[in-house]
Chain A
């Protein structure tokens, strides 16, 4: 069974600085999706970025980018120019392509604090 591990329960970063959130996963599959979701204090789960495993190019969405290392089964999220609105819980997630049930496996989350 696949697992997702986020080893940093909490992190802090100074406003305008760059921070990297770590995520590792375990799978025997070759094709899959990886996601980062953001959950601000409002509790709404928001998709930040997605990565398709068969694509070698790292995904980027504005100030958010990933470092996808398939062989190492690592999927870190880099937030550049951190803003106060980035303060949230961040969840790394894995989705198998082979399973037809669309289930997503979530890590336990990393709480990110932005220091003004």
Chain B
């Protein structure tokens, strides 16, 4: 299994509070991703990073920000959590050097915003 951890694994927070989710990898992979998973929507990309301090938006980036100051860590921040951000969040990593290009996923974080 790829060395990817996410913290916390579960979190309940109140509307309007800031929340930061952490993804940590031990594989030294260049690319890191944050997805959210909701029933009926599959996995949707929030933000991704293609190197330290290099990030870009995905399809559902509104209300989220990210930071990557080290290769191994990718942080997802909800500046002011809303109930619509209740979801399961997955981090993934990949390395584009050579094929086969798949992404490896962390165990997920279940976030509930009340």
Q: Which residues on A are within 8 Å of B, measured CB to CB?
A: 33, 35, 37, 42-45, 47, 50, 52, 91, 95, 97, 100-104, 106-109
A108 touches B102 (CB 8 A): no
Give 22 A-B contacts (CB < 8 Å), ordered by A residue. Answer: A35-B102, A37-B105, A43-B107, A44-B107, A44-B108, A45-B92, A52-B99, A52-B100, A91-B42, A95-B102, A97-B101, A100-B50, A101-B31, A101-B48, A102-B50, A102-B94, A102-B101, A106-B42, A107-B42, A108-B41, A108-B42, A109-B42
> Which residues does chain A contribute within 8 Å of B41, judged by CB atoms?
108
Question: Interface size bucket, B side?
Answer: 20 to 34
> Which residues does chain B contribute within 8 Å of A42, judged by CB atoms?
107
B43 touches A91 (CB 8 A): yes
In Å, the complex CA distance between A95 and B88 comes to 22
